[in-house]
Structure 1
Amino acid sequence: MFQNPTDQELANLLKTSKTVAVVGLSDNPDRPSYEVASYLQSQGYEIIPVNPRIGQSLGRKAHRSLREVEGPVDIVDVFRRGEEVDELVDQAVQAGAKVLWMQLGVVNEQAAKRAQDAGLTVVMDRCMKIEHQRLLGGAEL
């Protein structure tokens, strides 16, 4: 059965990660993906938008898929339905990601196991913004 990393492990990965590819990032400030990514950007993370339906978000060019992202990615933060996560596992591995993070409400145990078997740390059904604020005391926007 899947188990999220401990608070200590989460705090450590949030402290050591720099680049976050946000799959499903919207260009609409009213969407949760935009709010979370904007917060993470304000905390010093480099945000890479991944969404084939937009041209850019948060001042950064959007990529159609993780396959288009150049350079290493520390965290792949997923704002997609749970059943869509499985296809992202291989892309996350190819992107050099260390962490596959599924946002609140995103659950896929099979994808989590595949990602763990490929060497990724997996966080499931947790919000990166909430966890960052809780564990590292990030400023509220």
Structure 2
Amino acid sequence: MLSDQQIKTILAESRTIAIVGLSDKPQRDSYRVAEYLQKKGYRIIPVNPTIECVLGERAYPSLREVPEPVDIVDVFRRSEEVPSVVEQALEKRPRLIWLQLGVISPQAAEMAAAAGVPLVMDRCLKVEHGRLLG
């Protein structure tokens, strides 16, 4: 488990966040989190096979199709879908994998730990960013 200081350091040093399951509907949590992160200066990369663009950024159907490195992978998917998302995330070698509130996968946590990539589970990136970095 990462300490607050470790999370704060990663957030402060990161610039690009792939958001898996990002919706183009403004009332959805994923949209609000992505919009907040954009306003805080992060480049967001939407990952959702059902949309083409959101918040001015091109969406990709899967993490494998994202053509650039990402610092953080933020996951808004059902818990049972997370292991396959984390498998793709690990191919990108991010600094951190983040599972949003209510998203819990011990299997994904084990996969990330085995690959040496930290994983935060069942926490909101927007809330934690606000708490740690304002």
Which TM-score bucket, shorter chain as reference? over 0.9
Say whether residues 1:133 and 2:125 are aligned partners. no
Stretches of structure 2 that go unaligned for 5 or more consecutive residues are none
Aligned equivalent of 2:8, options 3, 6, 11:
11
Instruction: Give the deviation of 1:96 after TM superposition.
Output: 2.5
Counterpart of 1:65 in structure 2 is 62
Aligned equivalent of 1:85, options 71, 74, 82:
82
Counterpart of 1:21 in structure 2 is 18
Instruction: Give the deviation of 1:71 after TM superposition.
Output: 1.2
Instruction: Give the deviation of 1:93 after TM superposition.
Output: 1.5
Q: By percentage of residues, which structure has more helix?
A: 2
| Aligned-residue identity in percent | 57
Greater CA drift, 83-92 or 39-48:
83-92
Q: Aligned Cα RMSD in Å?
A: 0.8
**Structure 1 stretches of at least 4 aligned residues deviating more than 3 Å after TM superposition:** none
Stretches of structure 1 that go unaligned for 5 or more consecutive residues are none
Counterpart of 1:101 in structure 2 is 98
